[in-house]
Amino acid sequence: MITDLHANGGTGTNGHDSAGGPKANAIEVENIVKKYGDFTAVDGVSFQVKEGEIFGLLGPNGAGKSTLIRMMTTLIPITAGSARIAGHDVEREPDAVRRTIGVIPQALTSDLDLTIEENLNIYAKLYDVPAKKRKATIEELLEVVDLTKWRSAQTKTLSGGMRRRLEIARGLVHSPRIFFLDEPTTGLDPVSRVSVWEMLTNIKSHRELTILITTHYMDEADRLCDRIAIVDHGKLVALDTPAALKASVPGSNVIEAQFENAPADWEQRLRKLGDVTSVQHEGAGMYRILTGNGSQTTTALVESAVKAGVGIKSLSVQNTTLDDVFVHYTGRQLRDELQKAYAFVMPQRPGLQP
Ligand SMILES: Nc1ncnc2c1ncn2[C@@H]1O[C@H](COP(=O)(O)OP(=O)(O)O)[C@@H](O)[C@H]1O
Ligand SMILES: [Mg+2]
C-alpha cells in the first residue's frame, strides 16, 4: 500500500548495494564531543548504525541524548570528533546530510492553528516534494499514522499521541533515508506510547529506513530497538542488542524484597544464598538481589527469613531488564533518576482520542 514511499535505496556509505552484500553504515559517529563553555555535555562518543537498523540512545535526563541528535542532524556545531550521515560529513556537507534525514525534535513543533493536512502540506512544500507526489505521499502517510479521518482537524484540538503521530508523518514527507526521533513518547499515556511504537514498526516494515531514537523508557528501547547505546553523563557506557546487554549482567533474575526486623548482617547472609551474584540494600528494608536461579534463591531466601525470624513485607522475582543493565554499568537506577527528573507529570490535553 505504501510501496511508493520507499526511501532512495541505492548505494550506501561503504559502496555496498543495500539489496545485497554487507549493510553499509547509515550513521558513523567518532569520538564526538560537545562543550558548552567549560561543561562537557557529550564526551567522546563513538558508534555506528547500520542501514535499516533501529538504534536506541537510552539514558536519563541530561545524559546528552538531545545534544547528540542535534550534532548528528547539523542543528548545532560539534566541538570535536566527527559524524557522517549516509556518508556525508555533518560539518563539511551539512546540506547533503539535511536532504537525507527526517528529524522529530523533542518538543512538539507542528503549527497549532493549521489542520493535520495543512501541516503535512507545508512541510512537503518546504522540502520541494513535487505536487503530484506530495498528494499521494500525504494520503499514504495519513493512513500509516492512522490520522486519515482527522485530516481536517485543527492541530490544537489533538491529543498528545495524535500530535506525535502527525509529527512522525511530517518527518517522513520527503522520504528520508534516516529518521531521527528525540523522545517521541515522553509525556504520552501508555496507550498512546504503544500506538507510536506500532506506528514506527509499521513504517519500518514498509520502507527502507534507518531509525535513531532516544528514549528513557527501558521497555520501549527493549521492544523497539535492534541495538541500544546506553549513555550517561555524556559518555557511552554500553552498546549492544537488548538481549546481549541483559545477558552481560551477571544473574538472570532480579529479586526485590522488603524485610522487617532484619539483623545487621542480613545483606551478608543474603549474599551467601545459592546462585546470588549481587545484593544491594536500598534502604527501608528493601533489597535488590541478582541471581542466576530465581526460584531456588527465592526458596532459600524464604527459608532463611523464617529461620531468622525476619518478616517478608514484599517479594517479587523478575527477569533482568535494561534497568538492571543500567544499574550494572552506572551503579544507579534509571527509574530513580527519572523520578527525580520527571517529578512533575505532563498535563494531558483534553482533546480528541486516542
Ligand atoms: N544550550 C546549552 N547550553 C548549556 N548546557 C546545555 C545546553 N543544552 C544542553 N545542555 C546541558 O547538556 C547536558 C545534556 O543535555 P541534553 O543533551 O539535553 O540531555 P538529554 O537529552 O539526554 O536529556 C545537560 O546537562 C544540559 O543541561
Ligand atoms: Mg533530550
CATH at 272:
3.30.70.100
3-state secondary structure of 152: coil
251 or 146, which is more confident = 146
Same domain for 131 and 280, yes or no, is: no
Of the listed ligands, the closest to the CA of 182 is 2
Confidence class of residue 247 from pLDDT cuts 50, 70 and 90? confident
Same domain, 193 and 96: yes
Amino acid 23: pLDDT: 78
Poorest-pLDDT segment among 51-55, 146-150, 224-228, 241-245: 241-245
Residue of higher predicted confidence among 259 and 208: 259
The reply to whether 83 and 185 lie within a common domain is yes
Q: Specify whether 175 is located in the same domain as 310.
A: no
Out of 198, 228, 246, pick the residue that ends a domain.
246
In a domain, 301, yes or no: yes
What mean pLDDT is predicted for residues 178-205? 88
User: Can you name the residues that pair with 211 across neighbouring β-strands?
Assistant: 54, 179
Span from the CA of 62 to the centroid of ligand 1 (angstroms): 6
Long-range contacts of 161-164 (CB under 8 A, 24+ apart): 161/188, 161/189, 161/191, 161/192, 161/193, 161/195, 161/196, 161/354, 162/351, 162/352, 162/354, 163/108, 163/110, 164/108, 164/188, 164/192, 164/196
The atom of ligand 1 lying closest to the CA of 183 is 21
Residue 341's pLDDT band (cuts 50, 70, 90): low
User: Are 109 and 229 contained in the same domain?
Assistant: yes
Q: Does a structural domain hold residue 327?
A: no
User: Would you state the pLDDT for residue 20?
Assistant: 54
- Higher pLDDT, residue 352 or 323: 323
- The answer on 29 and 131 residing in a single domain is yes
| Mean pLDDT across 40-54 | 96
Q: Is 250 in the pocket of ligand 1 (CB under 6 A)?
A: no
148 CA to centre of ligand 1 in angstroms: 36
Residues 217 and 259 in one domain: no
Q: Are residues 48 and 180 in the same domain?
A: yes
Q: How many domains does the chain have?
A: 2
Query: Is the per-residue pLDDT at 154 higher than 70?
Result: yes
What is the 182 CA–ligand 2 centroid distance (Å)? Answer: 7
Cα distance from N-terminal residue to C-terminal residue, the chain: 24
What separation in Å is there between the alpha carbon of 233 and the centre of ligand 2? 12
Q: Which atom of ligand 1 is nearest to the CA of 70?
A: 17
Residue 105 DSSP SS3: coil
In the three-class reduction of DSSP (H, G, I as helix; E, B as strand; rest coil), residue 333 is classed as coil
What's the pLDDT at 347? 41
Same domain, yes or no: 10 and 120: yes
Q: How far is CA 246 from the centre of its chain?
A: 16
Per-residue model confidence as pLDDT tens digits over 83-137: 999 999 999 999 999 999 999 988 888 889 999 999 999 999 999 999 999 999 9
Residue 64: inside a domain: yes
Q: What's the CATH code of the domain at 37?
A: 3.40.50.300
Please give the pLDDT value at position 15.
41
Does pTM surpass 0.85?
no
Nearest CA to ligand 1 atom 10: 41
Kindly state whether residues 79 and 212 are assigned to the same domain.
yes
Residue 284 falls inside a structural domain = yes
Same domain, 104 and 223: yes
Q: Does residue 59 line the site of ligand 1, with CB under 6 A? A: yes
- For residues 167 and 232, state if they share a domain: yes
What is the domain extent for residue 282? 250-319
